[in-house]
Amino acid sequence: MISPPRFQSSPKRAFPAPLTIGVVADTHVYLRGARRLPAEVVDLFIRFKVGLILHAGDVNTSGVLMALAEVAPVIAVRGNNDDAILMDNLPEAVEFTIGKHRFGLVHGHGGKSARSEAKRRFGGRVDCAVYGHSHVPLIEREGGTILFNPGSATDRRWGPHFGVGLIAVTDAVIAPELVLYGDPRHLASVRPDEP
């Protein structure tokens, strides 16, 4: 019996700025399920020329990460619903740098809330903490740390929108943006600002 290919997260932990990051979380794509990562999300990341993609856990199967890795290097963490292969291959949390800025990535389960878990793990230690788990898109600043949750690209649960994120990083600033949508086809109208 041939075992399925194993996703290997990018081993790189330092990236130069400027860089645009694509962010997804909670895709919940199961091997034999009907749910898929919308092709429009991948197209959005291509249009914005992302140089790095973050997945904040609950991927569920490696195929999603492999598809994203065709666009840009991927750093991913495991969530509480990931399959055994991902649980074995992905870390619980990752820290990395882009230019002079420090980032942290975690799913967010195991604490009082995903937000509180991201704060506990990274608050005051990184410039931007990316997390998932709640399916609630959010950008806020807590002290010197930006807390960023893209929501879910495939499972909005109680909210009105699906969500993904874009984070533009220069030497001077970290500029996170939520891209919210009710239908993946709406993502075709989201275009980068022309210089």
Q: What is the pLDDT of residue 194?
A: 63
User: Does residue 189 belong to any structural domain of this protein?
Assistant: no
φ, ψ of residue 114 to 5 degrees: the values are -60, -40
Q: What is the pLDDT of residue 4?
A: 56
Tokens at 91, concatenated: 């870390």
User: Does residue 7 belong to any structural domain of this protein?
Assistant: no
User: Does residue 194 belong to any structural domain of this protein?
Assistant: no
Q: What is the pLDDT of residue 5?
A: 60
Q: What is the pLDDT of residue 157?
A: 82
DSSP 185: G
Q: What is the pLDDT of residue 2?
A: 53
CATH number for the domain including 128? 3.60.21.10
User: Does residue 11 belong to any structural domain of this protein?
Assistant: no
Q: How far is 188 from 41, CA to CA, in rounded Å?
A: 9
Q: What is the pLDDT of residue 61?
A: 85
User: Does residue 9 belong to any structural domain of this protein?
Assistant: no
Q: Which residues of the chain form beta strands (DSSP E)? A: 14-15, 19-24, 52-55, 74-76, 93-98, 101-106, 128-130, 138-142, 145-149, 162-169, 174-181
- Report CA Rg, the chain: 15
Q: What is the pLDDT of residue 158?
A: 79
How many structural domains does the chain have?
1
Q: What is the pLDDT of residue 77?
A: 97
Rounded mean pLDDT for each run of 10 residues along the chain, 195 residues in total? 67 95 94 84 97 96 92 96 90 97 95 90 95 96 95 89 97 97 95 77
User: Does residue 54 belong to any structural domain of this protein?
Assistant: yes
Q: What is the pLDDT of residue 3?
A: 56
C-beta atoms surrounding 158 within 10 Å: 7
Q: How far is 37 from 22, CA to CA, in rounded Å?
A: 14
- Domain containing 97: what range? 17-183
User: Does residue 12 belong to any structural domain of this protein?
Assistant: no
